[in-house]
């Protein structure tokens, strides 16, 4: 009995005797004492405060029991900064705050040289700094730390102890996991599986062709297929291991299921295929942003800055947000006085039609920015104060059958006199001289004659005519002419029908958009891109920015500040290349990145005199990361099948629309098909449950990473993620926490792979330095960051003391030189390196600009053939409805008369993709999703909120709960993604004799991916895919809805 | 003139609320609020006839009323008012009679199923007393929530209230709330009665 | 009122004061009603009601002894209930209620004692065995049976009874008042609420009294029968009940008219009860079974003379008033304050068990009291041998 209980019992007796008197003075003193103990200003259950700030003087007093560590979130793939509040005694995370230095957390973010103690004031009342310097993390950033402490985390390696997917596991040692996955053998003999499995050693063969009859497909090493997540600041480590050390081209991020076609459309517009830039609108400077899907505050990348900037822009700067989306998502503020909504409930998959219609209107109404588009080169643009320029006026060969069809006309082809090119100088450091710019031709506005692009000040925008090329008349058109013709291909009535919007609505939107000039911009992501026509729709939406000429302008389109040199060839270390680096050969299993015309199949057919079209399965030459194609290719054995599948930070069976049906599950479950599946995961995920081996990994609070921010941030960003808590995973023999990196490094050492071990990383002088631990890699990347451009300051003694970084990290002291450490500490203390806020703009243009020409017409695109029809792809934006590989549209195959609804999915607000479903705090926000339908549709079908309803699609059925909304397009069904798990806590499994029971709350809801469309025109099971941009279609599924 | 007494207040600028619920989640972590109950939440409403539909967000929490019915209702003085206007609950003396919950016009209170007492937003008094800000304010992604001393004319809250038309919830109750909204649609902030029994027939 | 609105997200706020509180209100109502009836003879000097004075006060005390258990049972921190006595809040109706709830049964107890003292003293002298001991003890040694002493008893009883009537009214009025006080809840916030509570208390109090009298007279009184005088008194009480019903119903009609033309929340509440999902509980059970049918029974010459019918009517009034308590307490909190649907209520099984136990306890107490206390005078000697 403690004191309080004692007092209570005394009190009870006391009161009974004082019963009825009700007078306090008669109460025994002990009781009075208890009364005095209140009021309780401190909530006993609240967290201890991290510090105290004097509201008058701003003096900061730290709570000595608590550490604040700046790091980087990965609650979603946005990589915002964070400031983690850690209990020093228990080493546990108490709470997560935002990092005020990081531009994703704060608007504006703190100047980089702000002393750390001053940065703490952003938590307090003093001078309202807690408001003006507020640094936030979102709902997921606040709570994602709970995955660290998930009771079912995988902390040691597991080996399958039953059939694949059966849920029987046994714990094995780290050494056994390495030994068996590397050396292979009869690994599952004890289960009666006699099959001899090839391990990483046998598969890592860079010489023997995987298919001796068609060696062109590449060596055996290609049969090691790796699927990873997207860029989280660790991915480059994985990429380096798979492609450069191991030598397999089959490294995948999740691009193809993420925003694939959008990215590829940007690559096409920016004509930059190596660095993969893409653009977003600069909300803060904008007057109007038209969001095609991608509502800020709903999802979006980066989620948090999008949400904040659009909110601030709307409230403080009067930016108007228009949301083109079948679902009325969050993120738009409409004043109660306003009589009109700026929501545009578009028919899914028809954004291309809307954008092309708006373009057509602008051409007709002469609202396009001709002054911008007619500048044929940078100098001419600069003279007109335009910070960017396009190839709108360049001539393209359009003569059917001409060998150069689709290519830009070159000056030499029409005998134009060329200026003398300066001698190609090879700079001392060995980087090759830049390739000479082709000699494009324009029709000069003044002379009206074909002129070299850089000899004209202003060129003709619209031209279609014949020029004499090599003696014959050849049809040429300007890029913009081609775009115009595409825009004019359909009438406004046709566009209206395609989009489900009225003509007047389209005109009104176009008028509104174009009247803001360069201060209007578009923004889009998965909504537009994740359709079978995603590429051209994306490109059309992007093209609206070109028509107003907003690129590189304040309030226009920005490629973002990007990052400093990190996992790259930097001032301190070369993390890009190393001696003995492998160069992947042959073709990727996903049928991407190379033309069908280069494949052994094409060549063979051609040689045999057959019509080489269509290919066995389609190819996507300009796309990448077609993760959705990987398993279907394996199943078809085309172009080849795989020996080892490794997954890390991904859940492709769950996250790929149209993939995981019975046939695929059966395929995956049969070890003969993919002999070895290794998954690196933190929990028993929906995909990992089918693995043979599971390697434990560190969560993002236990990992390193050097991520930049995807987009939208105008200044340079490099986050510095570091383990803020001791990893909970087991330790390897040499004391490393078990993790993905530790696994790769050990495998690499065992196989003697290049780029790993004592001589793993060359420094800037080319001398070898070690890559023995994960710290070796990431700290070296951070050294590059710290020394890039003007190196950062050394950390001060005070700040070092305040952060305790040298104590925290002393185990890894040898990774860097003392000189490097002083700067890396400075970076770590601030959670990264960040360019100052005032570097956003130079006057009315962006400080960090996209430096190259913009492609109204893209030559690479326009000279690529469709691998089924053999026809050239349009080289400019155009309207194409979602279609199958054989060209039939989805609506033809699944007509509205039978399939009256479209299902689209959108991102979960309280989850990230398939991830975070087991975070209790987020479970508390949403345990399940709903089948959302419009009020009118619901009334027609007699459906009310909460009714059980069934979705029927051409590929399957799903049962869920109805949610009746005003803000869903009529005829559309919206289902939030991220629910309907079959594992990740929702299914029981056993490890040795320990049973891990299922938690029935975790698997609730509907996953539309299980019933998303497949492409029935293909011979083997295959998701519906955008063959140009590579997106796996997730938003075109046709459906029926029945009330149960 | 002597300095006026400190009076805590919150302003929520709905134009900036993105409906992320970071506030809800952070509040639960900071204050160890058990599953299923919430000191703050964000009501979301769709208004209008298709396709003229707009979406409206309304973050909710205790209003720390000047004329607080909950305070009057509490028979054991477990609910009390601090010097600076915050309405708090003394968990050591709350008997859990729930009359305050019946009395609060705003649904601000709930029973903490673990502690077995009434509970509600404290304005994060334990932080505010240390010169810090409430958890929900510190993590407000859109920057909608602003907290401070409304009696200090230099404070941001005071300026926001002075320079904008502000709304409070159920002014007709005369509770004198100290949570002010900017940009709220007065017509749909409260309960909705026209379709009370939907889904029941 | 804007009607083209749909909620996407909100937090559910379940009803807090539930079945235990409703039943608590029911008990206090019964107690108050019984007391008032008891006082009709002693305080208001209406002779014909004198014989029920003792029965009334026993019921008043027995019911009020159990009533607060419901309240305490409903507390989340029941072990802290005692703090109600010394952490007072002058603005809180409950704080006053605490003292009313303490004083009223105390007063009733003493009042009752003075009504019974004569029997105790006599019994202590005349009876034998167990009862003698019991009555001797209960007389606390006050054996004076002189006329003067008895007259003094009657005087004190009258005084305490006079004090008790307002206390009883206040105890029950206050339960109505704690609801009426709450501006937030449209259904509750009316000045009529204490009156409505009072009148329904009278209805149910009378109903229960009739039933208890019938039962105890038939089985527990020395005579073991409902004598003709008793019957006529019972029928008389039933006529009282009819008038209580009339007043109660009138108040209810006024209340609902006001509610219907009140603000949106009030209007919604009225609609909920008149045509919404609560119409069965309200119009059917509370009004139909609980008021209308008993009214007809007590009105029609045929039925109003029949003990059977009257007993039936009394049962109905009890059901009706339980329904009324539930409708008002729970229904009043179901009208949303921030939501677009009714606030849900699910009875906690623990609470239902408590109610059952308390009811058993109540019946036991009443049984023991009527069995062993000289409610109907002292038993004939032959009765004693039974013991
Ligand atoms: N229907 C539909 N499908 C979609 C989408 C949609 O909106 N609708 N969205 C698509 C998009 S945009 C994307 S990006 C993809 C995402 O799909 P995936 O790339 O598959 O990524 P996640 O779903 O986030 O799953 C990540 C997995 O990594 C594991 N994990 C989490 N943290 C760690 C860690 O620290 N280490 C390791 N080793 N593993 C970890 C978790 O178990 C989790 O299952 O889904 C796509 N699929
Ligand atoms: N809360 C949350 N935020 C996230 C993530 C998360 O999982 N949860 N994931 C992150 C990741 S990996 C990514 S890739 C980004 C993705 O960011 P977004 O692409 O913005 O997110 P999605 O929800 O996939 O986008 C789908 C949106 O497009 C709409 N839509 C569907 N079909 C169409 C269409 O045909 N046309 C138009 N115009 N709109 C359509 C949907 O209604 C939805 O609003 O979000 C990131 N942020
Ligand atoms: S947006 Fe993503 S990265 Fe940023 S705080 Fe939220 S969960 Fe973390
Ligand atoms: S909002 Fe409710 S709980 Fe908060 S002070 Fe006002 S009445 Fe009390
Ligand atoms: S529940 Fe607690 S705070 Fe509320 S009125 Fe009762 S004792 Fe007071
Ligand atoms: S002020 Fe504190 S307690 Fe109140 S809602 Fe905000 S975080 Fe929760
Ligand atoms: S954190 Fe701020 S922006 Fe997000 S929902 Fe809460 S109030 Fe709105
Ligand atoms: Mo994504």
Question: In B, which residues are within 8 Å of A332 by CB distance?
Answer: 54-55
Cα separation, B132 vs A130, in Å, equals 8
Helices (H) and strands (E) in chain C, counts: 15, 1
Confidence of residue B2 (pLDDT cuts 50, 70, 90): low
Residue B194, in any domain of the structure: no
Residue A859 burial by CB count (10 A; 0-12/13-18/19+): exposed, middle or buried? buried
Distances (CA, A) of A883 to A260, A897, A1013, A1017, C280: 17, 18, 11, 10, 57
* Total-model pTM: 0.94
A102 CB near ligand 3 (under 6 Å): no
Number of compact structural domains in chain B = 1
C-beta atoms of C82 and A964 within 8 A:
no
Residues of B (37-76) whose Cβ lies below 8 Å from C: 38, 41-49, 55, 60, 69, 71-76
A80 CB near ligand 3 (under 6 Å): yes
Confidence of residue A20 (pLDDT cuts 50, 70, 90): very low
pLDDT at A1000 over 90: no
Confidence of residue A436 (pLDDT cuts 50, 70, 90): low
Protein residue with least CA distance to atom 1, ligand 7: B140
Residues of A (961-1000) whose Cβ lies below 8 Å from C: 964-967
Question: In A, which residues are within 8 Å of B59 by CB distance?
Answer: none
Among the partner residues A40, A46, A308, nearest to B90 by beta-carbon distance: A40
Cα separation, A395 vs A407, in Å, equals 9
Q: What percentage of chain A carries pLDDT values higher than 90?
A: 90
Which ligand 3 atom is the nearest neighbour of the CA of A72? 3
CB of A476 closer than 8 Å to CB of A394: no
Put simply, whether C86 touches A (Cβ < 8 Å) is yes
Question: In A, which residues are within 8 Å of C8 by CB distance?
Answer: 965, 967
Kindly report the nearest CA distance between residue B184 and chain A, in angstroms.
Answer: 7
C-beta atoms of C99 and A22 within 8 A:
yes
Put simply, whether A11 touches C (Cβ < 8 Å) is yes
Residue B148, in any domain of the structure: yes
pLDDT at A277 over 90: no
Cα separation, A551 vs A270, in Å, equals 11
Mutate to test the interface with A, among C7, C78, C86 (most CBs of A within 10 A): C86
Distances (CA, A) of A802 to A47, A116, A727, B18: 21, 8, 23, 35
Protein residue with least CA distance to atom 6, ligand 4: B65
Q: Which residues of A816-830 are buried (b: 16+ CB within 10 A; e: fewer)?
A: beeebbbbbbbbbbb
Q: Chain-wide mean pLDDT for chain B?
A: 94
Task: List the beta bridge partners of residue B111.
Answer: B118
Give B20 Cα–ligand 7 centroid separation in angstroms: 5
B60 CB near ligand 7 (under 6 Å): no
Cα end-to-end distance, chain C, whole Å: 71
Give B100 Cα–ligand 4 centroid separation in angstroms: 8
CA A169 to chain centre: 32
Cα end-to-end distance, chain A, whole Å: 57
B22 CB near ligand 4 (under 6 Å): no
Give B38 Cα–ligand 3 centroid separation in angstroms: 22
Q: What is the ipTM of this complex?
A: 0.94
Which ligand 6 atom is the nearest neighbour of the CA of B10? 1
Residue B104, in any domain of the structure: yes
In this prediction, residue C139 carries a pLDDT of: 86
Q: How many C-beta atoms lie closer than 10 Å to residue A418's C-beta?
A: 11
In this prediction, residue A230 carries a pLDDT of: 73
C-beta atoms of B30 and A46 within 8 A:
yes
C-beta atoms of B54 and A920 within 8 A:
no
Cα separation, A346 vs A332, in Å, equals 16
Kindly report the nearest CA distance between residue B90 and chain A, in angstroms.
Answer: 6
Give C15 Cα–ligand 5 centroid separation in angstroms: 15
Question: In A, which residues are within 8 Å of B146 by CB distance?
Answer: 131
Ligand 6 — pocket residues by CB below 6 A?
B 27, 30-31, 39-40, 61, 121-124, 134-136
**DSSP percent split of chain B into helix, strand, coil, nearest 5:** 20, 20, 55
In this prediction, residue A17 carries a pLDDT of: 37
Cα separation, A555 vs A845, in Å, equals 9
In this prediction, residue A592 carries a pLDDT of: 97
Task: List the beta bridge partners of residue B12.
Answer: B145, B181
Question: In A, which residues are within 8 Å of C344 by CB distance?
Answer: none
Taking alpha carbons only, the member of A802, A832, A812, A835 closest to residue A73 is: A832
In this prediction, residue C96 carries a pLDDT of: 87
Put simply, whether C92 touches A (Cβ < 8 Å) is no
Mutate to test the interface with B, among C3, C9, C71 (most CBs of B within 10 A): C9
Cα separation, C373 vs C135, in Å, equals 8
Residue B196, in any domain of the structure: no
Strand, coil or helix: what is A9? helix
Please report, in tens digits, the pLDDT of each residue of chain C (387 residues total).
567 899 999 999 999 999 999 999 999 999 999 988 988 888 888 888 888 899 999 999 999 999 999 999 999 999 999 999 988 898 888 888 888 888 998 999 999 999 988 888 888 888 888 888 898 889 888 888 889 999 999 899 989 989 988 888 888 888 888 899 999 999 999 999 999 999 999 999 999 999 999 999 988 888 888 999 999 999 999 999 999 999 999 999 999 999 999 888 999 999 999 999 999 999 999 999 999 999 999 999 999 999 999 999 999 999 999 999 999 999 999 999 999 999 999 999 999 999 999 999 999 999 999 988 988 888 765 444 443
Cα separation, C270 vs C259, in Å, equals 6
Nearest-ligand number for the alpha carbon of A687: 1
Protein residue with least CA distance to atom 4, ligand 5: B100
pLDDT at B66 over 80: yes
Strand, coil or helix: what is A332? coil
In this prediction, residue A234 carries a pLDDT of: 94
Distances (CA, A) of C348 to A423, C19, C362: 89, 9, 21
A232 CB near ligand 2 (under 6 Å): no
Give C384 Cα–ligand 2 centroid separation in angstroms: 88
Nearest-ligand number for the alpha carbon of B170: 4
CATH of the domain at B23: 3.30.70.20
Residue B42, in any domain of the structure: yes
Protein residue with least CA distance to atom 6, ligand 5: B97
Task: List the beta bridge partners of residue A296.
Answer: A299
Taking alpha carbons only, the member of B40, B101, C337, B135 closest to residue A925 is: B40
C-beta atoms of C1 and B105 within 8 A:
no
pLDDT at A36 over 80: no
Residue B1, in any domain of the structure: no
Confidence of residue A45 (pLDDT cuts 50, 70, 90): confident
A584 CB near ligand 2 (under 6 Å): no
Element (H, E) at C179: helix C147-180
In this prediction, residue A419 carries a pLDDT of: 59
Protein residue with least CA distance to atom 25, ligand 1: A650
Answer left, alpha or beta for residue A415, where phi above 0 means left and psi between -120 and 50 means alpha: left
Kindly report the nearest CA distance between residue B193 and chain A, in angstroms.
Answer: 16
| Phi, psi at B128, each rounded to 5° | -60, -35
pLDDT digits (tens, 9 = 90+) for A350-383: 999 999 999 999 999 999 999 999 999 999 999 9
CB of C185 closer than 8 Å to CB of C216: no
Give the contacts of A779 (CB within 8 A, at least 6 positions apart).
Answer: A704, A812, A815, A816, A820, A824
Interchain CB contacts (distance < 8 Å): B and C: 181
| Chain C neighbors (3+ CB pairs < 8 Å) | A, B
C-beta atoms of B106 and C4 within 8 A:
no
pLDDT at B6 over 90: yes
Between residues A1032 and A18, which one has the greater pLDDT? Answer: A1032
Helices (H) and strands (E) in chain A, counts: 32, 37
Interchain CB contacts (distance < 8 Å): A and C: 38
Give the contacts of A708 (CB within 8 A, at least 6 positions apart).
Answer: A79, A233, A562, A563, A566, A716, A717, A718, A719
Strand, coil or helix: what is A1004? coil
- For C93, nearest residue in chain B (alpha carbons): B73
| Phi, psi at A1039, each rounded to 5° | -155, 165
Residues of A (930-959) whose Cβ lies below 8 Å from C: 935
Kindly report the nearest CA distance between residue B113 and chain A, in angstroms.
Answer: 13
CB of A226 closer than 8 Å to CB of A251: yes
Give the torsion through C-alpha atoms of C299, C305, C309, C312, to 10 deg.
80
Distances (CA, A) of A518 to A544, A925, C94: 10, 40, 66
Kindly report the nearest CA distance between residue B176 and chain A, in angstroms.
Answer: 23
Element (H, E) at A633: helix A627-636
pLDDT at A14 over 50: no
- For B168, the domain range is 8-188
Residue B198, in any domain of the structure: no
Residue B21, in any domain of the structure: yes
pLDDT digits (tens, 9 = 90+) for A637-687: 999 999 999 999 999 999 999 999 999 999 999 999 999 999 999 999 999
Cα separation, A831 vs A805, in Å, equals 12
């Amino acid at each position: 009995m403690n004191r309080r209980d004692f007092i209570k019992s005394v009190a009870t007796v006391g009161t009974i005797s004082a019963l009825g008197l009700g007078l306090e003075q008669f109460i025994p003193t002990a009781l009075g004492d208890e009364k005095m103990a209140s009021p309780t200003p401190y909530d006993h259950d609240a967290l201890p405060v991290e510090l105290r700030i004097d509201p008058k003087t701003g003096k900061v007093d730290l709570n000595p029991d608590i550490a604040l560590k700046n790091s980087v979130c990965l609650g979603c793939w946005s990589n915002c900064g964070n400031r983690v509040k850690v209990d020093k005694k228990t080493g546990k995370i108490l709470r997560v705050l935002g990092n005020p230095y990081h531009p994703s957390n704060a608007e504006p973010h703190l100047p980089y040289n702000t002393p750390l103690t001053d940065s703490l004031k952003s938590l307090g009342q003093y001078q309202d700094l807690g408001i003006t310097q507020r640094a936030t993390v979102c709902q997921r950033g606040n709570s994602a730390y709970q995955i660290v402490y998930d009771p079912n985390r995988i902390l040691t390696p597991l080996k399958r102890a039953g059939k694949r997917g059966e849920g029987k596991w046994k714990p094995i040692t780290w050494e056994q996991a390495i030994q068996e996955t590397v050396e292979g053998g009869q690994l599952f003999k004890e289960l009666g599986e006699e099959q001899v499995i090839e391990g990483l050693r046998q598969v890592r063969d860079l010489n023997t062709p995987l298919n001796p009859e068609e060696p062109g497909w590449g060596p055996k090493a290609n049969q090691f297929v790796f699927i990873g997540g997207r860029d989280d600041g660790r991915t480059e480590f994985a990429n380096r291991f798979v492609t450069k050390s191991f030598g397999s081209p089959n490294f995948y991020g999740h691009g193809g299921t993420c925003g694939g076609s959008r990215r590829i459309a940007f690559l096409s517009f920016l004509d930059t295929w190596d660095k993969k830039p893409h653009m977003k609108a600069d909300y803060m400077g904008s007057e109007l942003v038209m969001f095609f899907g991608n509502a800020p505050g709903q999802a979006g990348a980066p989620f948090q800055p999008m949400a904040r900037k659009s909110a601030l822009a709307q409230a403080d700067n009067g930016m108007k947000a228009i949301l083109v989306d079948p679902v009325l998502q969050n993120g738009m503020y409409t004043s109660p006085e306003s009589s009109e909504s700026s929501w545009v409930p578009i028919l899914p998959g028809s954004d291309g039609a809307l954008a092309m219609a708006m373009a057509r209107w602008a051409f007709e109404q002469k609202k396009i920015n001709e002054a911008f588009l007619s500048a044929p080169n940078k100098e001419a643009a600069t003279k007109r104060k335009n910070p960017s320029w396009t190839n709108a006026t360049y001539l393209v060969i359009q003569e059917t059958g001409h060998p150069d069809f689709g290519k830009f006309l070159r000056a030499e082809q029409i005998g134009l006199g060329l200026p003398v090119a300066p001698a190609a100088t090879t700079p001392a450091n060995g980087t090759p001289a830049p390739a000479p710019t082709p000699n494009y031709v324009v029709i000069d506005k003044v002379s009206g004659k074909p002129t070299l692009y850089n000899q004209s000040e202003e060129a003709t925008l619209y031209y279609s005519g014949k020029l004499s090329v090599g003696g014959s008349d050849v049809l040429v058109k300007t890029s913009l002419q081609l775009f115009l013709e595409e825009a004019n291909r359909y009438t406004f009535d046709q566009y209206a029908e395609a989009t489900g919007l009225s003509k007047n609505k389209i005109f009104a939107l176009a008028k509104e958009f174009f009247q803001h000039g360069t201060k209007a911009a578009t923004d889009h992501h998965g909504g537009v891109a994740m359709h079978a026509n995603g590429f051209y729709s994306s490109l059309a939406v992007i093209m609206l920015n070109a028509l107003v000429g907003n690129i590189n302008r304040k309030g226009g389109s920005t490629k973002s500040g990007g990052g400093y040199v990190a996992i790259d060839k930097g001032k301190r270390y070369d993390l890009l290349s190393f001696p003995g680096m492998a160069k992947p050969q042959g073709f990727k299993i996903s049928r991407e990145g190379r033309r069908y015309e280069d494949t052994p199949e094409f060549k063979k057919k051609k040689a045999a005199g057959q019509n080489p079209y269509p290919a066995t399965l389609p190819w996507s030459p300009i796309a990448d990361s077609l993760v959705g194609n990987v398993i279907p290719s394996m199943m078809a054995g085309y172009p080849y099948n795989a020996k080892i599948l490794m997954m890390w930070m991904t859940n492709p069976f769950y996250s790929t629309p149209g993939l995981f049906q019975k046939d695929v599950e059966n395929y995956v479950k049969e070890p003969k098909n993919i002999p070895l599946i290794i998954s690196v995961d933190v929990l028993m995920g929906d995909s990992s449950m089918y693995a043979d081996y599971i390697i434990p990994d560190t969560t993002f609070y236990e990992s390193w990473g050097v991520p930049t921010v995807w987009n939208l941030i105008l200044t340079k960003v490099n986050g510095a993620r570091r383990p803020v808590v001791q990893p909970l995973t087991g330790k390897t023999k040499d004391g490393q926490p078990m993790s993905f990196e530790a696994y790769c490094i050990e495998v690499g050492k065992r196989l003697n792979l290049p780029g790993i071990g004592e001589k793993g990383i060359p420094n800037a002088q080319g001398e070898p330095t070690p890559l023995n631990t994960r710290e070796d890699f990431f700290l070296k990347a951070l050294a590059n960051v710290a020394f890039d451009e003007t190196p950062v300051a050394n950390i001060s003694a005070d700040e070092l003391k305040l952060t305790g970084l040298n104590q925290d990290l002393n185990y890894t002291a040898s990774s860097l030189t003392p000189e490097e450490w002083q700067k890396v500490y400075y970076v770590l203390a601030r959670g990264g390196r960040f360019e100052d806020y005032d570097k956003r703009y130079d006057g009315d243009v962006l400080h960090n600009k996209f430096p190259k020409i913009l492609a109204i017409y893209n030559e690479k695109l326009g000279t690529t053939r469709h691998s089924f029809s053999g026809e050239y792809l349009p080289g400019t934006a155009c309207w194409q409805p979602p279609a199958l590989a054989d060209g039939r549209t989805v609506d033809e195959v699944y007509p509205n008369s039978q399939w009256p609804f479209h299902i689209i999915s959108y991102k979960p607000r309280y989850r990230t993709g398939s991830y975070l479903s087991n975070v209790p705090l987020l479970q508390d926000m949403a345990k399940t999703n709903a089948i959302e339908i419009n009020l009118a549709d619901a009334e027609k079908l007699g459906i009310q909120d909460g009714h059980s309803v069934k979705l029927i699609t051409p590929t399957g059925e799903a049962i869920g709960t109805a949610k009746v909304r005003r803000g869903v397009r009529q005829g559309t069904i919206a289902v939030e993604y991220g629910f309907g798990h079959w594992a990740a806590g929702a299914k029981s499994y056993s490890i040795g004799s320990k049973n891990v029971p299922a938690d029935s709350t975790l698997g609730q809801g509907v996953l539309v991916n299980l019933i998303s469309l497949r492409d029935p025109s293909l011979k083997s099971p295959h998701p519906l895919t955008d063959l140009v941009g590579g997106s796996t279609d997730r938003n075109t599924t046709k459906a029926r809805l029945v009330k149960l | 003139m002597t300095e006026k007494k400190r009076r805590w207040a919150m302003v929520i600028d709905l134009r900036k609320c993105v409906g992320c619920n970071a506030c809800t989640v952070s509040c639960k972590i900071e204050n160890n609020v058990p599953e299923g109950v919430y000191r703050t939440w964000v009501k979301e409403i769709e208004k209008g006839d298709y396709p003229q539909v707009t979406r409206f967000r309304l973050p909710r929490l205790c209003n720390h009323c000047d004329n607080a019915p909950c305070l009057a209702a509490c028979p054991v003085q477990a609910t009390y008012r601090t010097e600076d206007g915050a309405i708090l609950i003394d968990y050591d003396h709350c008997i859990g009679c729930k009359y305050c919950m019946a009395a609060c016009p705003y649904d601000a209170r709930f029973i903490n199923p673990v502690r077995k007492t009434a509970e509600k937003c404290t304005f994060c008094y334990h932080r505010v007393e240390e010169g810090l800000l409430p958890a929900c304010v510190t993590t407000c992604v859109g920057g909608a929530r602003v907290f401070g001393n409304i009696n200090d004319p230099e404070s941001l809250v005071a300026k926001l209230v002075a320079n904008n038309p502000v709304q409070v919830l159920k002014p007709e109750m005369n509770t004198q709330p100290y949570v002010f909204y900017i940009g709220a649609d007065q017509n749909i902030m409260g309960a909705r009665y026209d379709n009370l029994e939907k889904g029941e027939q | 009122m804007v009607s083209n609105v749909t909620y996407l997200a909100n937090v559910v706020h379940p009803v807090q004061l539930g079945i235990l509180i409703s039943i608590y209100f029911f008990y206090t109502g019964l107690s108050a009603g019984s007391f008032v009836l008891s006082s009709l003879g002693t305080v208001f000097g209406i002779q014909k009601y004198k014989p029920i004075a003792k029965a009334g006060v026993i019921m008043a005390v027995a019911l009020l002894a159990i009533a607060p258990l419901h309240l305490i049972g409903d507390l989340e921190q029941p072990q802290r209930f005692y703090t109600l006595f010394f952490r007072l809040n002058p603005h809180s109706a409950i704080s006053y209620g605490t003292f009313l709830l303490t004083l009223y049964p105390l007063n009733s107890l003493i009042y009752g004692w003075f009504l019974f003292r004569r029997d105790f003293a006599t019994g202590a002298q005349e009876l034998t065995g167990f009862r003698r001991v019991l009555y001797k003890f209960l007389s606390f040694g006050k054996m004076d049976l002189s006329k003067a002493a008895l007259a003094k008893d009657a005087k004190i009883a009258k005084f305490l009874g006079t004090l008790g009537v307002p206390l009883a009214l206040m105890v029950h009025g206050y339960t109505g008042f704690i609801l009426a006080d709450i501006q937030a809840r449209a259904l509750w916030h009316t000045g009529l609420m204490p009156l409505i509570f009072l009148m329904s208390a009278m209805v149910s109090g009378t109903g229960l009294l009739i039933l208890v009298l019938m039962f105890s007279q038939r089985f527990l009184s020395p005579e073991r029968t409902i004598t003709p005088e008793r019957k006529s008194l019972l029928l008389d009480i039933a006529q009282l009940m009819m008038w209580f019903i009339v007043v109660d119903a009138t108040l209810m009609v006024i209340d609902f008219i006001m509610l219907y033309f009140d603000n949106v929340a009030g209007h919604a509440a009225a609609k909920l009860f008149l045509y919404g999902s609560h119409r069965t509980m309200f119009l059917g059970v509370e009004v139909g079974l609980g008021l209308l049918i008993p009214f007809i029974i007590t009105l029609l010459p045929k039925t109003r003379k029949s003990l059977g019918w009257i007993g039936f009517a009394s049962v109905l009034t009890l059901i009706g008033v339980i329904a009324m308590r539930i409708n008002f307490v729970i229904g009043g909190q179901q009208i949303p304050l921030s939501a677009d649907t009714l606030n849900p209520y699910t009875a906690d099984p623990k609470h239902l068990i408590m109610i059952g136990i308390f009811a058993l306890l109540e019946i036991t107490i009443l049984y023991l009291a009527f069995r062993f206390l000289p409610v109907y005078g002292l038993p004939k000697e032959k009765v004693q041998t039974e013991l």
